[in-house]
Structure 1
Amino acid sequence: MNQVIYIMGVSGCGKSTIGNLLSEALKIPFFDGDDFHPEANVAKMSKGIPLNDEDRFGWLQTLNELGKKQVENNSCVIVCSGLKQMYRDILSKGIESKSMWVYLSGSFNQIEERVNKRSGHFMSSALLQSQFDTLEEPINALQLDISLKPEEIVKKIVKELDMKSEFGLFGLGVMGKSLSRNLAQKGFNISIFNREVKGSEENIAIDFKNAHSELEKSQPFSNVEAFVNSLQIPRRIMLMVNAGKITDMVIDDLIPYLSDGDILIDGGNSNYLKTKERYDYLKSKNINFIGVGVSGGEEGALKGPSIMPGGNKETYELVKPYLEGIAAKDTNGLPCCTYVGEEGSGHFVKMVHNGIEYVEMQLLAEVYTIFNTMGRNPDEIANILESWKSDVDSYLLGITVDILRKKDGDDWLVNKIVDKAGNKGTGNWTTIATAQLGAPSTLIASALFARYTSFYKEERCNANEKFGISPSELNLNSDDVLNAYQFGRIINHYQGLKLISEAGKAYSWTLNLSEIARIWTNGCIIKSDFAEALIPVLKEDDNILTNPSIISQLKELKPSINKVVAECILRELPVACLSESVNFLNAYTTSNSSANIIQAQRDYFGAHTYQRIDDLSGDFHHTNWN
């Protein structure tokens, strides 16, 4: 990756000498910041008058533009005092992750002696104290003592560049391995880490590197300290470990070896509330933390996942090229990765993504059950679903077609799979979150509880015998089922996006739902044509049920969902999410609901009060109902 190497420090520390030598050693362009000062600044300093922030602003912007232009084609060295953090922020704006800082440090007496020996320079020794007064020492810099010989300093800088990786991947499980290979394929120099257990799990990182040619330049480790020390400052380390206590244990193992300004990126399926806690905890230790949702499974992680990062925006800029570099691309060639928002918002959006995924899977399972009850075999159902792709194409629809066509001997494999669905907790978290936030994501809860119900296999078999309930023949056609499926998916996406919107309000996150829909158009499990269609809709309103086109579509599909759900209930076939989708819209579009009875009941037994439709003041009332 091309870099702008900024050599900084007070005047007289030897920046220009080191910059020239370094550019020669690396064979890259060299620029002295002093040469870009406007005449007014030079005249002011020549008179012994220190520059103020206003004087420096335009000069710093000029150097920033120079750096941005140069880094497009090559690395370069720029010498600039960069005394304040705000100056360094301007210099690196837009190229934060491509900026390397080298700080030449020395005592006042050392540098004063050097300045006094210079001749013909506009900076006099009288201004040196003002520079020391202004200096804010950087935390994300390679600090080198000016008492070293210039050649030794340059050698240390070159060694840092040659020997240190720009990105670290901690944890070589299925996802960690795929992301490592993805990073290496994109040309990033990486270090990879995996723990070792003598006698059972040895040489994992080394063996993994040796098994894949793209990892030839990667550095493998099983020692935490060596892994951390192999990385350029600020260190960028992505954690791909199991969510929960293991993540906290890994963070605690890393902290002793980290420096101020280093960045930890949690790429696991962590709970968003824990992400907030870890963010605050690490902030107290001057360590930056980003919570990143990664969707796409093993294949997506290798070929390009959808990535949902949340945390501090400035910190994100430092890891942006890596995350966007490995992400899937949308139809316009843009990365399916965007800064989601503050704190744990990235993991929250990934959690809701998984909740939507639960529903999409359940809807397809219900569609399969309907056609299966109608006497269609898996191949016939696969053909029907294949024909739907022109209307409702999605990743999950595609893999369901593949699943239904898979044979095992003389039978279809799906017929041999035990009907007990597992889960890893994200559906549970999403259901808890929707209850806590008061958002009606009823389909996610229904899909979750359908999985829970499936797990009681023995009880279900016993109940089947005792109740004697079994589905009878359904009088439905493929178009009605397709329309019902489309209807359910629209309601599902409305509820999921509504939950994200409500979280944004509750936690003061700045969220862009249109961008979130965009990064769901490729690389993730819920990628679909419908997500693509939602991008312009969400630019107009976060509530997709206010969109005239969506309203028209639901009205057109409503007779089919009514027919399918009614037929299934009459024929005793469970369709949890299809039925809940139409129940929700019926409730959502009811202007006068039964909630008045509930509020009266609450007032009766708990004096919870109520409001009256004939009292426009909005006051609350209580009645003695006895």
Structure 2
Amino acid sequence: MPQTIILMGVSGVGKSTLGKMLAEKLKLAFFDADDFHSEANISKMNTGLPLNDDDRKLWLENLAENIKKWSDGAVLACSALKEKYRQTLIQHAEKPVKWVYLYEDYEMIKSRMEQRKDHYFKPELLKSQFDTLEPPAYGIHIKVNKSPEENLKKIMNELERPHIGLIGLGVMGKSLALNMASKGIPVSVYNRDFKDVEVDIAKNFAAEHEETYIFPWFNDLQKFVASLPKPRNIMIMVKAGAAVDAVINELLPVLDAGDLIIDGGNSHFKDTAKRIKMLGEKDIYFLGTGISGGEEGALKGPSIMPGGSKVAYERAGEVLEKIAARDPWGDACCTYIGPEGSGHFVKMLHNGIEYGEMQLIAEFYHLLRFFCGMDTSAIADLFAEWNTELRSYLLEISIDILRQKEENDYLLDKILDVAGQKGTGGWSTEAALELGVPLDTITAAVLARNLSAFKADRIKASKKYHFKTVGENVPSREELFRVYRSVMIINHSIGFELLRAASKEYNWDLNLSEIARIWTGGCIIKSGFMEELVNIFKDHHSHLLLQDKISDELKNINFAKVLSFALENACPMPLTSAAATYLFGFSSQQSSANMIQAQRDYFGAHTFERIDKNRGEFFHFNWKKPD
């Protein structure tokens, strides 16, 4: 796309030299702003007097009119020392303008100026230029401390680097912006100003990090969008739902065809599909992008799950892959997931598996602490022992939690036992119901959080029910570990089967091995088992529980010892119970569903299939005997 590039800075930084080299490299026309000065301006500078704003006014407006005419793009060397000068220059621009700010320290520039001969700009005017200079808070900044050839190479590297704008400086937004900046990706930031609620968020963020990174900041959305090079790449990090639509509606009037919006929040996959369709009709790209890893992951490298058009991913993929975590093999934990809302569906299911893993750890901690007689420190040590094999991030952080004290008490004991949630677990259950896929463990984890919310009623019930505890036949550490790992495997298998069903139903062609791979680093559910799944799904394309390696491990697990102990002691273990029940049901040649079909046919004439007839043939029976 044709573009105008303006090289700016004080006299002596090499604007003209680098400008000509850059123009030749990009096959663009070159113009020197000095050639547009009036005779009066040149005469004044020859006498050693600096130009004032009145002197510059006609010069800048003349340049602005010429920039408008450069339809094929151009490179312009111009001092443009003040922000108002720069805004005047681009006031009529109809094509993208990129700024390159060239700088060096005063003494170095002065030395260069003193060596120049036969130039109307006198070295004594340099001090006034440095006094006037207002370095831009945007564009490419190049310190010209190398040879012209090396400085040109630095400019080209920066020009070829993708630029992105980020909207929403909450915890995740700030961390992602810092991540991008640390990878050398130019990023502009915007956050609304909302009286007494959100004030100077973007300004303060940029100021806080100004010694390390340059963040062009905005609280005016139109100016934010106008500052981005075209075609624009804009990531929005706001709360899922109405807030996303509100931002899109604000953006639409100021976007152009070919611009790209990336939604990095936890949006519902159906909402994402609608947005892709709506924006596609306006020739605007949209990527629904799941991001996992929390604040630390967003800062240091998350797992990223982009879904939408392949063309949109090719635009944004370089940025997303640069900021993503690395898997154990050194590749980015980011891959193109598929079309429509597939990226957000995969992130939703990631969170569903996460719900299950968190509940699994919580209920084993509860069993060990209150029914097996282990103290908090001993449980932490046991989990650490287990984690040498499991290498689970969630188990790792749980060990830290168990060991954290406040004064002489464990902090965990001071936390109210009411679990919060943001909806993605429940969305997973809803999706499973729509697709007709069992989701036992994830649903059990969601419902366990729901039950925890009834704290007041639970307190009352605890005084009415006094279930007798036995406290005998405590399972061994080995028995507990094997059941724990088995439940973890079943929870993953249930989650991946939902992905397989969605891929088939929506024609997404999901690659389960690739999804497992990008979940081996940067995300909440990374573990040693996830690394195993990469190869398992690469070599096998059937249900995880049908793989020989998995079935050989699970068929010898004695769930009864752990679950019977829990039941005898009135210890709720909903996820472990759900996992065992799912495995028993999945591995049962004969299920109880024939009774259900008979019941349905009895009261509703819903018909049934017979084992002595072909599948697809349906029958009805008059069950009620005549009087």
TM-score range, shorter chain: 0.7 to 0.9
* Conserved 8 A contact 2:231-2:258: yes
Unaligned runs of 5+ in 2: 5-14, 30-64, 77-92, 101-137, 140-161
Matches within 5 A, 1:124-273: 148=69, 153-155=74-76, 159-162=97-100, 164=139, 166-213=163-210, 216-273=213-270
Q: Distance in 2 between matches of 1:619 and 1:527?
A: 46
* 2:461 paired residue number: 463
Q: Distance in 2 between matches of 1:147 and 1:216?
A: 32
Q: Distance in 2 between matches of 1:26 and 1:612?
A: 84
* 1:97 paired residue number: none
Size of the aligned set, in residue pairs, is 500
* 2:144 paired residue number: none
**1:471 Cα deviation from its structure 2 partner:** 4.3
* 1:375 paired residue number: 373
1:577 corresponds to which letter in structure 2?
L
Instruction: Select 2:346's aligned residue among 346, 349, 359.
Output: 349
Q: Does 1:610 align with 2:608?
A: yes
Q: Distance in 2 between matches of 1:508 and 1:305?
A: 27
Aligned-pair Cα RMSD in Å: 2.4
* 2:493 paired residue number: 494
* 1:526 paired residue number: 525
* Conserved 8 A contact 2:467-2:569: no
* Conserved 8 A contact 1:305-1:336: yes
Deviations 1:509-538 (A, max 9, x none): 121000000000010010111000100100
**1:154 Cα deviation from its structure 2 partner:** 2.7
The structure that has the greater radius of gyration is 2
* Conserved 8 A contact 1:263-1:315: yes
Which deviates the most, 350-359 or 371-380? 371-380
* Conserved 8 A contact 1:464-1:470: no
* 1:132 paired residue number: none
Instruction: Evaluate the alpha carbon distance shift between residue 200 and residue 571 of structure 1 in structure 2; reply closer, same or farther with a 3 A threshold.
Output: closer
Matches within 5 A, 1:246-395: 246-372=243-369, 373-395=371-393
* 1:555 paired residue number: 555
Unaligned runs of 5+ in 1: 9-20, 31-75, 80-101, 103-143
Q: Distance in 2 between matches of 1:325 and 1:387?
A: 34
Q: Distance in 1 between matches of 2:410 and 2:606?
A: 57
**Secondary structure at 1:341's aligned position in 2?**
coil
* Conserved 8 A contact 2:2-2:71: no
% identical aligned pairs: 44
* Conserved 8 A contact 1:6-1:78: no
Instruction: Select 2:19's aligned residue among 20, 25, 28.
Output: 25
Q: Distance in 2 between matches of 1:410 and 1:369?
A: 21
* 2:482 paired residue number: 483
* Conserved 8 A contact 2:23-2:75: no
Q: Distance in 1 between matches of 2:357 and 2:71?
A: 63
* 2:130 paired residue number: none
**Secondary structure at 2:325's aligned position in 1?**
coil
**1:217 Cα deviation from its structure 2 partner:** 2.2
Q: Distance in 2 between matches of 1:26 and 1:341?
A: 44
Q: Distance in 2 between matches of 1:366 and 1:423?
A: 17
**Secondary structure at 1:621's aligned position in 2?**
coil
* Conserved 8 A contact 1:609-1:622: yes
Deviations 1:90-126 (A, max 9, x none): xxxxxxxxxxxx9xxxxxxxxxxxxxxxxxxxxxxxx
Q: Does 1:517 align with 2:501?
A: no
* Conserved 8 A contact 2:97-2:229: no
**1:329 Cα deviation from its structure 2 partner:** 0.2
Instruction: Evaluate the alpha carbon distance shift between residue 472 and residue 251 of structure 1 in structure 2; reply closer, same or farther with a 3 A threshold.
Output: farther
**1:161 Cα deviation from its structure 2 partner:** 5.0
1:160 corresponds to which letter in structure 2?
K
Q: Distance in 1 between matches of 2:457 and 2:3?
A: 71
* Conserved 8 A contact 1:160-1:232: yes
**Secondary structure at 1:388's aligned position in 2?**
helix
* Conserved 8 A contact 2:292-2:303: yes
**1:410 Cα deviation from its structure 2 partner:** 1.5
Instruction: Evaluate the alpha carbon distance shift between residue 201 and residue 593 of structure 1 in structure 2; reply closer, same or farther with a 3 A threshold.
Output: closer
* 1:435 paired residue number: 433
1:209 corresponds to which letter in structure 2?
A
1:374 corresponds to which letter in structure 2?
C
**Secondary structure at 2:357's aligned position in 1?**
helix
Q: Distance in 1 between matches of 2:260 and 2:248?
A: 11
**1:570 Cα deviation from its structure 2 partner:** 2.1
1:295 corresponds to which letter in structure 2?
S
Instruction: Evaluate the alpha carbon distance shift between residue 23 and residue 238 of structure 1 in structure 2; reply closer, same or farther with a 3 A threshold.
Output: farther
* Conserved 8 A contact 2:426-2:446: yes
**Secondary structure at 2:165's aligned position in 1?**
strand
**1:216 Cα deviation from its structure 2 partner:** 3.0
Q: Distance in 1 between matches of 2:71 and 2:578?
A: 73
Which deviates the most, 562-571 or 466-475? 466-475
Instruction: Evaluate the alpha carbon distance shift between residue 152 and residue 602 of structure 1 in structure 2; reply closer, same or farther with a 3 A threshold.
Output: closer
**1:314 Cα deviation from its structure 2 partner:** 0.8
* Conserved 8 A contact 1:22-1:154: no
**1:148 Cα deviation from its structure 2 partner:** 3.1
Q: Distance in 1 between matches of 2:433 and 2:382?
A: 37
Q: Distance in 1 between matches of 2:172 and 2:226?
A: 24
- Which TM-score applies when normalising by structure 2? 0.76
Q: Does 1:77 align with 2:26?
A: yes
* 1:105 paired residue number: none
* Conserved 8 A contact 1:172-1:240: yes
**Secondary structure at 2:69's aligned position in 1?**
coil
Q: Distance in 2 between matches of 1:364 and 1:370?
A: 10
Q: Distance in 1 between matches of 2:544 and 2:348?
A: 20
**Secondary structure at 2:522's aligned position in 1?**
coil
Which deviates the most, 455-464 or 195-204? 195-204
Deviations 1:44-67 (A, max 9, x none): xxxxxxxxxxxxxxxxxxxxxxxx
